[in-house]
Amino acid sequence: MAKYSEAERRAFAELAGDVGLARAKRELQYPSSWSTGKRWCEEFGIEIELDDLKSKAAQYNSFYEETELRIAQQDLLSRALELMDNPNLTPAELDKIAATMKRATDSIQMLRGKATNRTAVEDTTEVEALKLYDDWKSAVDSE
C-alpha cells in the first residue's frame, strides 16, 4: 500500500475539488482507488459534488445495475470530449474517439430500451398512388 505525504494528499484533494475525483486521479496518477481520493477530500474538508448513487457505485467500484452502467457510459463520453480538446489530434485518433462515443451512446440507448440503429422506412405513398392510377386507368380503358 502506497504512503502519501500530507502535501500530496492535499494537492490531490484540491485538484479533485476543481476537476472531480476521476480526472484528478488520472492527472496525478494516484491514489489507486476512488474511495481513497474521496477520503482525502473529506480529510481536507473539500466537497465533491456527486449524487448518492454515483458515489456509492464508485466507492464499491461495482457497476451491477442499469443506472450504474449508464453513469459509466456518461463518464466515457465525458472523457472522450476531453480528449477531443487536443489541438494535435490526428484523424485516426479522432476516428477512434468518434467510434468510442458511438459505442457509448449505443450502450446508453440499449440500456434505456431505445433503438441503437435506424433504418429509414421507405415512403411508398407515391408508388402506391401510381399503381392505383394505373389499375384504375386499365379498368376504364377495358370498358
Q: What pLDDT does residue 60 have?
A: 60
- Residue 3 C-alpha cell reads as 504512503
Q: According to the model, what pLDDT value does residue 51 have?
A: 52
Mark the ranges of the chain whose per-residue pLDDT is less than 50: 1, 53, 63
pLDDT of residue 41: 92
Whole-number pLDDT of residue 106: 87
Strand residues in the chain grouped as ranges (E) = none
So where are the chain's domains? Answer: 1-49, 63-117
pLDDT tens digits for range 25-64: 889 999 988 888 889 999 999 887 765 546 656 666 554 5
Q: Which residues of 4-41 are buried (b: 16+ CB within 10 A; e: fewer)?
A: eeeeebebbbebbbeebbebbbeeeebbeebebbbebb
pTM: 0.40
Query: Phi and psi dihedrals of 24, rounded to 5?
Result: -60, -40
| Residues 6 or more apart in contact with residue 115 via CB below 8 angstroms | 109
Are 70 and 108 within 8 A, CB to CB? Answer: yes
3-state secondary structure 92-104: HHHHHHHHHHHHH
Q: What CA–CA distance (Å, rounded) separates 50 from 75?
A: 13
